[in-house]
């Protein structure tokens, strides 16, 4: 999804902007651009390309890239096709202003018509160009300063935005503003940095400000940061210290971020549980649960809302909470929930799960739930993200930045937090036996080691994956706790290898997908040794009878399903409720290797964005 970078200070802005854009590449984009106020001519120069940021570097040889103030952007098309004209920054009619924007201006058509009547011509199909012309119109027609023009323009705008604007008649200033789209300002020594997240900023400073919705920040050379609201009331920005380091966002010797992130999982889970798991005391403590225990214990019902991989984690969360806390749980896609007639209100606890903490549908669903009186609990990875701020309380998963577009370590982190949430609540509610709790806690404690064992299957999976590059379809089957794992395995494969894959509850296969099975069809069965093993066995036999090619994920020492399957991956045993934390790993690895064998862009698959900040 769109990425914004900006710089103002005494260094050359261009290299900082390009490096920043590269750090944001993981978000997914289709075109890129940069605007600089030239040191040589004092003019505003804008350079844009369709395609990769590296295309912008070609400009270096022939253009004026001087300047100590600039803004840059990676675009993910919403209004208008991906092309150079639609790429940001957009220039205003006067030629004075350049603007980058992330979000959607919902009333752009109405505003565009108004501006056209005033004689404004539009080059692109974007909503962003409307915004820059509107600011231009306010400024030129009212003879206003830049800040006032931005403020008045934003008062007319309906929609979501994170934006940065520069003006060649104000060469010492960048104005930024945000509403419902992410933006961070980094504060250095007499310089400022801007980023859609902290990754373009982190190597220069750890001092940051996250502007709130409806706030405008004025970044002026040699002056302190100034923040105002849309009515020009001065605000006191809260400066925070980032706890992210550069190593966390670089590949660390792996060929792809995705593989690095898959292999980081044992450590991530350890970080996620640190300080929360107290095996000897037979306790797991998520402080947010303890702080709000009355609300949570007395909840009529939980509603989990999320999108994509986070939604799959939610399906596992449902089983954990119903199993151990005996509270009814429903799981909804945030995008459906926000427009559905779901009955929600006081007494409901909504759990919003999001890796990025910026997913627009999830954010909107949270606002709706809050309006209706529900108590909202967030499970996020990105610290300080919009969702973590919009919820009443919550828990971070603490797995570090996830760069690969296909989510891996965030999924296992989310499931781990959901397990800890269910166990904390079950203990305060008294719905779990001490021995059961102790058994699960002991398993959680050794889980990082078991994950390492699961990762040892990597080489076997790499060679196995090569066989299946021929496939155009895959079926993934699982039951109980492993049913969402089957869905997640299928999603991973689709996302990065572009092979069509369906995840199904194994027993439901006979009501449709069984018709697809023939000797060409790979069927991945998640068949670890748990209470549904015998049931799954008959489903596996049904696939075998139709000559499907079975890849079974089994427990160490399995002797039955492994005899029937064509290929087997063995995993350490654990308690049933924690199975997904292990069974997910071979499916992540298989999707990864198939995509690599097929020569696909694993970290930035086509058409996908890491952080989906539009509806």
List residues with catalytic annotation: 2, 610
Q: How far apart are CA 535 and CA 508, in angstroms?
A: 12
Q: Does the CA dihedral 109-110-115-117 come out positive or negative?
A: positive
Stretch that binds ligand G6P, among 350-358, 507-515, 524-532, 562-570 (CB under 6 A): 350-358
| For ligand G6P, the closer CB: 319 or 355 | 355
Alpha-carbon dihedral angle through residues 35, 41, 42, 46, given to the nearest 10 degrees: -10
Does position 608 interact with ligand G6P (CB under 6 A)? The reply is yes
What φ, ψ does residue 564 adopt, rounded to 5°? Answer: -80, -35
Does position 310 interact with ligand G6P (CB under 6 A)? The reply is yes
| For ligand G6P, the closer CB: 539 or 611 | 611
In the complex, least distance from residue 313 CB atom to ligand G6P, rounded to whole angstroms = 8
| For ligand G6P, the closer CB: 356 or 497 | 356
In the complex, least distance from residue 361 CB atom to ligand G6P, rounded to whole angstroms = 8
Stretch that binds ligand G6P, among 181-189, 213-221, 292-300, 403-411 (CB under 6 A): 403-411
CB 48 within 8 A of CB 63: no
| For ligand G6P, the closer CB: 496 or 571 | 496
Does position 613 interact with ligand G6P (CB under 6 A)? The reply is no
Does position 356 interact with ligand G6P (CB under 6 A)? The reply is yes
In the complex, least distance from residue 511 CB atom to ligand G6P, rounded to whole angstroms = 27
In the complex, least distance from residue 77 CB atom to ligand G6P, rounded to whole angstroms = 16
| Position among 160, 162, 612, 614 found at the interface with ligand G6P (CB under 6 A) | 612
Does position 180 interact with ligand G6P (CB under 6 A)? The reply is no
In the complex, least distance from residue 584 CB atom to ligand G6P, rounded to whole angstroms = 13
| Position among 73, 494, 593, 610 found at the interface with ligand G6P (CB under 6 A) | 610
Residue nearest to ligand G6P (CB): 308
Q: How far apart are CA 97 and CA 135, in angstroms?
A: 9
In the complex, least distance from residue 310 CB atom to ligand G6P, rounded to whole angstroms = 4
| Position among 100, 153, 216, 405 found at the interface with ligand G6P (CB under 6 A) | 405
| Position among 45, 96, 181, 407 found at the interface with ligand G6P (CB under 6 A) | 407
Location of structure tokens 């007319």: 156
SS3 440: helix
CB 1 within 8 A of CB 27: yes
Does position 385 interact with ligand G6P (CB under 6 A)? The reply is no
| For ligand G6P, the closer CB: 3 or 308 | 308
Stretch that binds ligand G6P, among 18-26, 112-120, 285-293, 305-313 (CB under 6 A): 305-313
In the complex, least distance from residue 332 CB atom to ligand G6P, rounded to whole angstroms = 14
Q: What's the alpha-carbon Rg for the chain, to the nearest Å?
A: 26
Does position 304 interact with ligand G6P (CB under 6 A)? The reply is no
Helices (H) and strands (E) in the chain, counts: 20, 27
Alpha helices in 205-347 (DSSP H): 257-263, 265-273, 287-291, 293-297, 308-325, 334-337
Q: How far apart are CA 214 and CA 232, in angstroms?
A: 11
Alpha helices in 209-292 (DSSP H): 257-263, 265-273, 287-291
| For ligand G6P, the closer CB: 181 or 407 | 407
The encoded tokens of residue 207 equal 């001092």
Q: Which residues contact 41 (CB under 8 A, 6 or more apart)?
A: 64
| Position among 38, 196, 354, 530 found at the interface with ligand G6P (CB under 6 A) | 354
Q: Does the CA dihedral 10-16-17-20 come out positive or negative?
A: negative
Q: How far apart are CA 222 and CA 228, in angstroms?
A: 18
Does position 383 interact with ligand G6P (CB under 6 A)? The reply is no
Q: How many residues bind ligand G6P (CB under 6 A)?
A: 16
Q: How far apart are CA 362 and CA 476, in angstroms?
A: 27
The encoded tokens of residue 70 equal 């600039």
| For ligand G6P, the closer CB: 6 or 357 | 357
Does position 386 interact with ligand G6P (CB under 6 A)? The reply is no
In the complex, least distance from residue 387 CB atom to ligand G6P, rounded to whole angstroms = 8
DSSP for 99-157 reads EEEEEEETTHHHHHHHHHHTT----SS-HHHHHHHHHHHHHHHHT--HHHHHHHHHHH-
Q: Which residues bind ligand G6P (CB under 6 A)?
A: 307-310, 354-356, 359, 362, 405-407, 608, 610-612
């Amino acid at each position: 999804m769109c990425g914004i970078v900006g710089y103002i200070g005494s260094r050359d802005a261009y290299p900082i902007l390009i490096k920043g854009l590269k750090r944001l590449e993981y978000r997914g984009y289709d075109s890129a651009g940069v605007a600089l106020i030239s040191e040589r001519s004092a003019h505003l120069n804008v350079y844009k390309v369709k395609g990769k940021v590296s295309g912008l570097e070609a400009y270096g040889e022939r253009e004026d890239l001087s300047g100590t103030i600039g803004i840059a952007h990676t675009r993910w098309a919403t209004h208008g096709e991906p092309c150079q004209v639609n790429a940001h920054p957009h220039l205003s009619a006067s030629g004075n202003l350049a603007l980058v924007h992330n979000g959607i201006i919902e009333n752009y058509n109405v505003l565009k018509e108004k501006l056209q009547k005033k004689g404004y011509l539009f080059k692109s199909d974007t909503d962003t160009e409307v915004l820059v012309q509107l600011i231009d119109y306010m400024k030129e027609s009212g003879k206003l300063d830049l800040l006032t023009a931005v403020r008045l323009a934003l008062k007319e705008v309906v929609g979501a935005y994170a934006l940065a604007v520069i003006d060649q008649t104000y060469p010492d200033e960048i104005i930024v503003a945000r509403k419902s789209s992410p933006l961070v300002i980094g504060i250095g020594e007499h310089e400022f940095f801007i980023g859609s997240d902290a990754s373009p900023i982190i190597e220069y400073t750890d001092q940051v400000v996250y502007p709130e919705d409806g706030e405008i920040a004025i970044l002026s050379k040699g002056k302190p940061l100034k923040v105002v609201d849309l009515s020009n009331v001065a605000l006191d920005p809260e400066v925070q210290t980032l706890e992210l380091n550069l190593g966390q966002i670089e590949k660390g010797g792996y060929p792809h971020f995705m593989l690095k992130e898959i292999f980081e999982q044992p450590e991530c889970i350890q970080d996620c549980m640190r300080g929360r798991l107290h095996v000897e005391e037979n306790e797991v403590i998520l402080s947010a649960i303890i702080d709000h225990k009355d609300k949570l214990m007395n909840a009529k019902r939980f509603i989990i809302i999320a999108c994509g991989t986070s939604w799959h984690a939610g399906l596992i969360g449902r089983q954990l909470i119903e199993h151990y806390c005996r509270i009814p749980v429903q799981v909804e896609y945030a995008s459906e929930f926000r427009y559905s007639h779901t009955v929600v209100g006081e007494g409901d606890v909504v759990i919003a799960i999001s890796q990025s903490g910026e997913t627009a549908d999830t954010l909107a669903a949270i606002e709706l739930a809050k309006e209706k009186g529900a108590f909202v609990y967030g499970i996020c990875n990105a610290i300080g993200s919009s969702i973590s701020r919009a919820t009443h309380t919550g828990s971070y998963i603490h797995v570090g930045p996830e760069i690969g577009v296909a989510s891996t370590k965030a999924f296992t982190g989310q499931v781990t937090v959901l397990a800890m949430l269910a166990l904390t609540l079950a203990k305060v509610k008294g719905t779990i036996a001490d021995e059961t709790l102790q058994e699960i806690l002991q398993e959680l404690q050794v889980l990082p080691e078991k994950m390492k064992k699961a990762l040892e299957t990597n080489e076997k999976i790499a060679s196995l994956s090569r066989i299946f590059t021929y496939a155009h379809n895959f079926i993934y089957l699982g039951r109980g706790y492993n049913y969402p794992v089957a869905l997640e395995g299928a999603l991973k494969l689709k996302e990065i290898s572009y092979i069509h894959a369906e995840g199904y509850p194994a027993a439901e296969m006979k009501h449709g997908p069984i018709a697809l099975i023939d000797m060409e069809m790979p069927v991945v069965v998640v068949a670890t040794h748990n209470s549904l093993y015998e049931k799954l066995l008959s489903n596996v036999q049904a696939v075998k009878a139709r000559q499907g090619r079975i890849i079974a994920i089994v427990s160490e020492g399995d002797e039955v399903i492994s005899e029937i399957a064509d290929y087997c991956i063995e995993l350490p045993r654990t308690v049933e409720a924690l199975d997904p934390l292990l069974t997910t790993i071979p499916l992540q690895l298989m999707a990864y290797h198939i995509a690599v064998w097929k020569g696909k862009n694993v970290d930035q698959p086509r058409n996908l964005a890491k952080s989906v900040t539009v509806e």
